[in-house]
Amino acid sequence: MVASGWIPTAYNRGGHQRAERERSLASAPGQPKPILSIRDLSATYAEQGAILPVLDRVDLDVGEGEFVALIGPSGSGKSTLLDIVAGLIEPDRGEIRLFGEIHAAERRLGRSAYMQQRDLLLPWRTAVANAALALEVKGVDRRTARDQATQRFIDLGLQGFETVYPAQLSGGMRQRVAFVRTMLGGQRLILLDEPFGSLDALTRASAQDWLLDVLSRDQRSALLVTHDVDEAILLADRVVVLSGRPGRVIHQEPVVLPRPRTRDMIASAAFVAARIRLLEQLGLVHAGAGS
Ligand SMILES: Nc1ncnc2c1ncn2[C@@H]1O[C@H](COP(=O)(O)OP(=O)(O)O)[C@@H](O)[C@H]1O
Ligand SMILES: [Mg+2]
């Protein structure tokens, strides 16, 4: 259910200071105007008669043209959060403002481009026909749609595989096809759920470069879920950390590296400092370790 008026739970429960702190975490001053604004979002699943809390009063903004990465332990609700923004499911409470408007789930469908964790290619369509689907559903004629998809195939090293069916592609190739389909739709907000998870290191690097290039050319915004702290820092303007289930926003890390980003920035002091802070937040290293 979507609350019609936004009444922060924490205020009602007397958790005034926490609500204030989380509000300030949601968007730093001077951020671009949000095109996605999530407030007080909580979600649960019903499992074998029990209620499983998955997201807990999440506040999160993505600004126009901004790239936000979301990291957190497995099961912290990252995919659920993207499902909610995409309109596949409705949260228990909270407000989702997309391009300035609040809509129920079914009206959020299709407003953002969503690449889910599973590639979800149609088995009866060839690779290029799968990728072209994002344009065909918008009324672009089949020939033009496939020409555009074919062009993107070259960028991602998929040339020669246009007429191959998904079952004959490797996992990494299917993911790239799904990635092309997601990017072709032209939506201003892209939701990516671990898009590079199963790619080998070299393909992953070129897919990251391609993503950065497409986003910077089109001024699109992205919310990327990733397990990879380095990938988050390299790509994003801001990294948001969720706690373990139920996921709460426990940290936001603005990435101060200049753009265009290059891979050698990984060795910079700013990069290393951000990595340590994020790993600390994830409980993977401890503050002061080694000193
Ligand atoms: N459809 C569902 N029904 C019941 N439980 C679910 C469902 N989808 C996810 N979950 C559970 O909700 C929690 C959060 O899942 P998910 O959003 O996929 O987390 P993440 O993407 O951060 O790993 C997990 O414990 C998962 O098992
Ligand atoms: Mg997930």
For residue 131, give the H/E element and its range. Answer: helix 127-136
Token pair 């999530």 is found at 38
pTM to 2 decimal places: 0.87
What pLDDT score was predicted for residue 223?
A: 98
Closest CA to 41 of 21, 24, 26, 31: 26
Distance 62 CA to ligand 2 centre (A): 19
43 lines ligand 1 (CB under 6 A): no
**pLDDT band at residue 83 using 50, 70 and 90 as cut-offs:** very high
What pLDDT score was predicted for residue 11?
A: 30
DSSP code per residue over 2-28: --SS---HHHHTT-HHHHHHHHHHHS-
Instruction: Tell me whether strands 93-98 and 34-47 are parallel, antiparallel or unpaired.
Output: antiparallel
Residue 120 has pLDDT above 90, yes or no: no
The residue that leads in pLDDT, 35 or 4, is 35
Where residue 140 falls (left for φ over 0; alpha for ψ -120 to 50; beta otherwise) is beta
Distance 105 CA to ligand 2 centre (A): 19
Minimum mean pLDDT among 60-64, 147-151, 217-221, 254-258: which range?
Answer: 217-221
Residue 26 has pLDDT above 80, yes or no: no
Where residue 120 falls (left for φ over 0; alpha for ψ -120 to 50; beta otherwise) is left
Token pair 């201003």 is found at 188
The residue that leads in pLDDT, 200 or 53, is 53
What pLDDT score was predicted for residue 246?
A: 97
Average pLDDT, the chain: 87
Amino acid, res. 267: A
DSSP code per residue over 249-275: EEEEEE----SS--GGGGGSHHHHHHH
For residue 114, give the H/E element and its range. Answer: strand 113-115
What pLDDT score was predicted for residue 8?
A: 31
Distance 77 CA to ligand 2 centre (A): 7
**What letter would DSSP give residue 159?**
T
pLDDT tens per residue across span 208-263 = 888 888 888 878 999 999 999 999 999 999 999 999 999 999 999 999 999 989 99
Helices (H) and strands (E) in the chain, counts: 10, 10
Closest CA to 107 of 93, 124, 87: 87
pLDDT tens per residue across span 97-110 = 999 999 889 999 98
Cα–Cα distance measured from residue 27 to residue 44, given in angstroms and rounded to the nearest whole number:
25
Residue 16 has pLDDT above 80, yes or no: no
Residue 13 has pLDDT above 80, yes or no: no
- Ligand 1 probe mutation, 51, 55, 79, most atoms within 8 A of CB: 79
What pLDDT score was predicted for residue 2?
A: 34
End-to-end Cα, the chain, rounded Å = 49
pLDDT (average), residues 187-210 = 87
**pLDDT band at residue 277 using 50, 70 and 90 as cut-offs:** very high
Cα–Cα distance measured from residue 238 to residue 223, given in angstroms and rounded to the nearest whole number:
10
